[in-house]
Amino acid sequence: STGEKYREMSVAEFFAKNKELAGFANPTRALYQTIRELVENSLDATDAKGILPWIHISIRQIEGSEDKGGRPRYRVTVEDNGIGVPVTSMAMAFGKVLFSSKYVIRQTRGMYGLGVKAAILYGQMTAGTPVEVYSATKGSQYVYMMKLVIDVQRNEPRILERGEWNKRGSWHGTRVTLSLEGDWSRAKSKILEYIKRTAVIAPYAEIILETPDGEIYYFPRSTRKLPKPPRESKPHPHGVDIEQLKSMLRNTRASTLREFLVKEFQSIGDKTAQDFLERYGLDPGLKPRELLKKGREGLLRRLVDALMEYPFRAPKSDYLSPIGSDIIEIGLRRMFNPEWVGAVSRSPKAYRGHPFIVEVGIAYGGGIEPRSEPLLLRYANKIPLLYEEREDVSYKVVSSINWRQYNVDFPAPLVVLVHIASTKVPYKGVGKESVSDVPEIEAEIRNAVQEVARRLRLYLSRKAREEEAIRRSVT
Ligand code: ADP
Ligand code: MG
């Protein structure tokens, strides 16, 4: 024998042992990440479902948690007026790592099925307490409650307590409470910044934050205009690989290859399917299951290559949910009270079969403090990104712009907001803090920033001319 000891690890145990991968590297990051994951879930359950969000966040220090030199523990509660979690999925949604309702092709903030469980695991490990969830869906007659912990070895929920109450009134939504070790004094500025930036991009949300210092931050709703909720879409042929194709072939109801293409993919209609099959000499009548048989691997590979190569229509973007230039302008105006603001929502583009839209807002002057470089507000699928700024594609673009060309001389009061909306944001890590520099996305960000910056230049040069004229008339 080699003396090596082999065993398997559950995915819950993996994330329990590698907390930093999910953004829980230390008590400061953990408190920030917990708020973030809970708020993200609340927003996915509201604005993405056509509900004007109401989100109440409360962070309290647990009394006595600092005694005997212990590190402070906090109780965090986030409540929303969202669609709620059906009782049948509640235990799994909060108690099984990699269980999600968002494993579909749709623009959502969550995508890994990990966030809230990473927070619950961290809480379990540092405070030793279960998570408590109350939830009611729109139609249900009951409000359900569960207290549970995650069985780390088995990656299963262990329910400690449950309850149900007759619902009076029409409340629907979710309230999640968990306790964890944290560092409020260090996390405070990041958490406030996170909420503030969320309010910039979601001015249609009402957000209340209660802090351990006894302060209340209130972000009232400043518009009732909601972005159009995202719809679910089918895969685009440019984005599939062999494994994905296999599972699609296994699960399809289509009886021929031709029907399979039309039914299971976006951007393939009858005519396109015909032309595609002819061009690559593929048999339209082939049964999908045939392609899965032994000895057909070559054909399968040929099909994937063909799907990749054929000039299908670009992925559909009506499935995306951009914020819209008007909401971006409302948000920037409210938060910064600038002298000038402009925004653009570009037309959709695609990378590797994934549609995306880049939106950019620029605010200048007024209440903005002059800085030595632009204040960059990064967002992806409406999530503010605060850490890893210098690794982000938006930073790469914005810092490479020659602002002088746009009549902006630093130090200058300049805020640049960049939002990337996609069914698949290419994050660099599961903590979702920075976006990779995919060339197509990078080019779009550049185009968008330049487009708004040109408008700023127009404004600034007109203003300079007017000031010049006034000066002349006075002297
Ligand atoms: P993800 O958000 O990536 O799907 P999470 O672990 O954060 O992963 O959440 C798991 C699932 O729990 C979500 O997909 C969603 O279905 C459900 N969920 C969590 N929080 C809420 C909430 N506040 N309202 C409605 N559903 C929620
Ligand atoms: Mg989530």
Pocket of ligand 1 (CB under 6 A): 37, 41-42, 45, 80, 82-85, 93, 100-102, 110-117, 174
Same-domain check for residues 184 and 52? yes
Q: Average pLDDT of 17-35?
A: 95
Same-domain check for residues 265 and 130? no
Last residue of a domain, one of 282, 309, 336: 309
Same-domain check for residues 333 and 284? no
Residues 36-62: tens digit of each pLDDT:
999 999 999 999 999 999 999 999 999
Same-domain check for residues 148 and 246? no
% of residues, the chain, pLDDT over 70: 100
Same-domain check for residues 431 and 353? yes
Same-domain check for residues 244 and 383? no
- Closest atom of ligand 1 to 37 CA is 7
* 2 occurs within a structural domain: no
Q: Which amino acid is at 187?
A: A
Q: Return the number of other C-beta atoms located less than 10 Å from residue 162's C-beta.
A: 14
Last residue of a domain, one of 171, 186, 219: 219
Task: Among 39, 40, 41, name the best residue to mutate to test ligand 1's pocket (greatest count of ligand atoms within 8 A of Cβ).
Answer: 41
Same-domain check for residues 60 and 195? yes
Task: Please calculate the CA angle 219-224-228 and round it to the nearest 5 degrees.
Answer: 115
Residues 369-412: tens digit of each pLDDT:
999 999 999 999 999 999 999 999 999 999 999 999 999 999 99
Mapped onto helix, strand or coil, the DSSP state of residue 150 is strand
Of all protein residues, the one whose alpha carbon is nearest to atom 2 of ligand 1 is 110
% of residues, the chain, pLDDT over 90: 89
pLDDT of residue 175: 98
Give the pLDDT band (50/70/90) at residue 351: very high
Same-domain check for residues 254 and 366? no
One-character DSSP codes across 403-453? GGGGT--SSB-EEEEEEEEESS--BSSTT---B---HHHHHHHHHHHHHHH
* 139 occurs within a structural domain: yes
- Closest atom of ligand 1 to 78 CA is 23
User: For position 252, which CATH number holds?
Assistant: 1.10.8.50
Range of the domain at 398: 325-465
* 24 occurs within a structural domain: yes
* ipTM for the predicted complex: 0.99
Last residue of a domain, one of 219, 247, 269: 219
Q: What separation in Å is there between the alpha carbon of 341 and the centre of ligand 2? A: 32
- Closest atom of ligand 1 to 97 CA is 6
Number of domains in the chain: 3
* 96 occurs within a structural domain: yes
What residues have a C-beta under 5 A from ligand 2, the ion? 41, 110, 115
User: For position 366, which CATH number holds?
Assistant: 3.30.230.10
Residue 81 phi/psi, 5° resolution? -105, 40
* 161 occurs within a structural domain: yes
Please tell me the distance from the alpha carbon of residue 374 to that of residue 404, in angstroms, as a whole number: 12
Same-domain check for residues 42 and 187? yes
Same-domain check for residues 341 and 443? yes
